[in-house]
Amino acid sequence: MKRNRFLAAAALSLATLCAAGSAGGAHAEGEKHDLKPKFAADAVVKYTMEQKTSGTMKRGEEERKAVQNQTLHITRKVVSTSETGAKVELTITRVVASATPPMGMGEPVSFDSDQDIEKDAGNMLALQYRQMIGKPYTIDVALDGTITSVELPKDALVKDSVESMKSTFGPLFQVKEGEPLTAAGESWEKSETLGGAAAGLNSTSTLTLTEVKEGVATVTFDSKISFKEGQTPPGMEFKEAGVKGTVLWSLTDGTLVEMNGTQTMHMTNSEVAMEVQSTTEMHVKRAE
């Protein structure tokens, strides 16, 4: 099994989310708020990243269902800062996951990295997740939170691309690229080509700073997914493909507080009379 394991499960969902001084109380209309991330050497923030996916595939009279849940416990430590950005270590300290085999063929399986390693034998999720526990990714981040480079653990089996890392971990660093000063009610657009498991797709997002209250900015996002021009598989069509949700961003310490989103996918393939629908609930939250 390739080492892009959890990235393959989460990249499409989180890529679209990623595309997508203390303040107190309500703020006057037109006041600009600084959405730039802040990095302080040795600062540590812990997050949980949860994803729950359920899907159905229909082909003729046959219908199969699949369910996959995963929770990543992540520690983000700033190693150093400079005039151009920061160097950050991301370490996955625990994974809890469960899944039905592809297309529901087989018995459900579960995994908790806190369990004894002797229990891993024959567990496909253990093979997928165990190898990444406690091994930091070293990530260079620009001043606006854009991931610019990724250094993998020395014993990594397969190299994950920078695009995949942006898709998975980008929301931990950035709520808006480029110009950070934004007024409540202001919207901005972002279009990008997705990487990793979502290769071959484009994401177009509208993000809006809807509110700033007690030092926390609320940003809503609405992302639409489409095939790249000329890369639509024969007979394939998206009936619905996108993500909607909300980001809470601390203006006080310039970090993500919480992110919640729902991805809906509905596609058909007329050549093989197939229909696939899925819903993914995604939650990222700063741990206490």
What is the percent of the chain where pLDDT is above 90? 57
Q: Report pLDDT for 233.
A: 85
**Model confidence, pTM:** 0.83
Q: Report pLDDT for 112.
A: 96
Q: Report pLDDT for 281.
A: 96
Q: Report pLDDT for 28.
A: 41
* CATH number of the domain enclosing 188: 2.30.230
Q: If you count them, how many residues does the chain have?
A: 288
pLDDT digits (tens, 9 = 90+) for 250-273: 999 999 999 999 999 999 999 888
Ranges of the chain whose pLDDT falls below 50: 1-28
Structural domain boundaries enclosing 156 = 5-20+23-286
Q: Report pLDDT for 127.
A: 86
Which residues neighbour 4 within 8 Å (Cβ) at sequence distance 6 or greater?
158, 160, 164, 196, 197
Q: Could you give the number of structural domains in the chain?
A: 1
